[in-house]
C-alpha cells in the first residue's frame, strides 16, 4: 500500500466519523426538544383537565354567563385537540403555530372568565373554586417553565442545524426544517407600545 492511499483512506475514515458525529448530534438535539415538549404536553393536559372542573363549579353561580362559560370550554377543546396533533410531531411548525393560536384564544377566554367572575363575590370565596384556581395557577406556572425549556431546546437544535457544515447534511439526515418555538403570547401586541388616553 502506498502512503498516498493510506492518507486518502484516513481522510475518508475521518470524514465518515465527522458525518456520524453530525448525525448523532442532530438526533440528540431533536430528542431533547421532543422530550421538552413532552413536559409541556403533561402540564397542558393537566390544565385542560382542570378547566372543566372550574367551569362546573362556576356554572352554579354564574347562571347568566353561559356565553362566557361556553367560550372557555370551546377554546379548551380546540387547544386540547391541537395538543394531541402536536404531540405526535412537535417539530411541525404549522401545527405548533396552530397550537399557539389556540392557546392564545384559550388564554383570552380564561381572562374574560376571570373578569366576569369578579362580579360574583360568593364564587370567589367558594373553597372548591379557590382550590381549583390555585391548582390552575400552579399548572400555568409549570407550563411556562416547561415552555421555556422547550424553546431553549428548540433554539439549540435550530442553531446547530443551521450552522455550517451541518446545514449541508441536515436534510440528507432527515432534518430538513427548523423546529418552531412555542409562543402563547401575541408578540406584536406585546412589542407595541401601550396607548394611554385621558
Q: What is the pLDDT of residues 70-107, one digit of tens each?
A: 999 999 999 999 999 999 988 888 999 999 999 999 99
Report yes or no: 86 and 172 within 8 Å, Cβ to Cβ. no
Pick 189 or 157 by higher pLDDT. Answer: 157
**C-beta of residue 153 within 8 angstroms of C-beta of residue 29:** yes
Domains and CATH numbers, the chain: 3-183 (1.20.1440.20)
In tens, the pLDDT along 134-151 reads: 999 999 999 999 999 999
- The pTM score is 0.79
Could you write out the DSSP letters of every residue in the chain?
--HHHHHHHHHHHHHHHHHHHHHHHHHHHHHHHHHHHHHHHHHHHHHHHHHHHHHHHHHHH-TT-HHHHHHHHHHHHHHHHHHHHHHH-TT-HHHHHHHHHHHHHHHHHHHHHHHHHTT-HHHHT-HHHHHHHHHHHHHHHHHHHHHHHHHHHHHHHHHHHHSTTHHHHHTTTT--S-------S-HHHHHSPPP---
Convert the pLDDT of each residue in 1-41 to its tens digit. Answer: 789 899 999 999 999 999 999 999 999 999 999 999 999 99
Provide the grid cell at 28: 440528540
Amino acid at each position: 500500500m502506498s502512503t498516498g492511499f493510506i492518507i486518502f483512506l484516513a481522510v475518508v475514515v475521518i470524514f465518515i466519523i465527522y458525518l456520524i458525529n453530525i448525525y448523532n448530534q442532530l438526533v440528540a438535539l431533536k430528542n431533547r426538544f421532543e422530550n421538552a415538549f413532552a413536559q409541556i404536553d403533561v402540564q397542558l393536559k393537566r390544565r385542560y383537565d382542570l378547566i372543566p372542573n372550574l367551569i362546573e363549579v362556576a356554572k352554579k353561580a354564574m347562571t347568566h354567563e353561559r356565553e362566557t362559560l361556553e367560550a372557555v370550554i370551546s377554546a379548551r377543546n380546540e387547544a386540547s385537540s391541537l395538543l394531541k396533533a402536536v404531540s405526535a410531531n412537535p417539530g411541525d411548525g404549522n401545527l405548533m403555530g396552530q397550537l399557539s393560536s389556540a392557546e392564545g384564544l384559550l388564554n383570552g377566554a380564561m381572562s374574560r372568565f376571570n373578569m366576569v367572575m369578579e362580579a360574583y363575590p360568593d364564587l370567589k370565596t367558594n373553597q372548591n373554586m379557590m382550590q381549583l384556581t390555585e391548582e390552575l395557577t400552579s399548572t400555568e406556572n409549570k407550563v411556562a417553565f416547561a415552555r421555556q425549556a422547550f424553546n431553549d431546546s428548540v433554539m439549540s437544535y435550530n442553531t446547530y442545524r443551521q450552522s455550517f457544515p451541518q446545514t449541508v447534511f441536515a436534510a440528507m439526515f432527515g432534518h430538513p426544517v427548523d423546529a418552531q418555538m412555542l409562543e402563547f403570547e401575541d408578540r406584536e401586541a406585546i412589542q407595541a407600545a401601550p396607548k394611554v388616553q385621558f
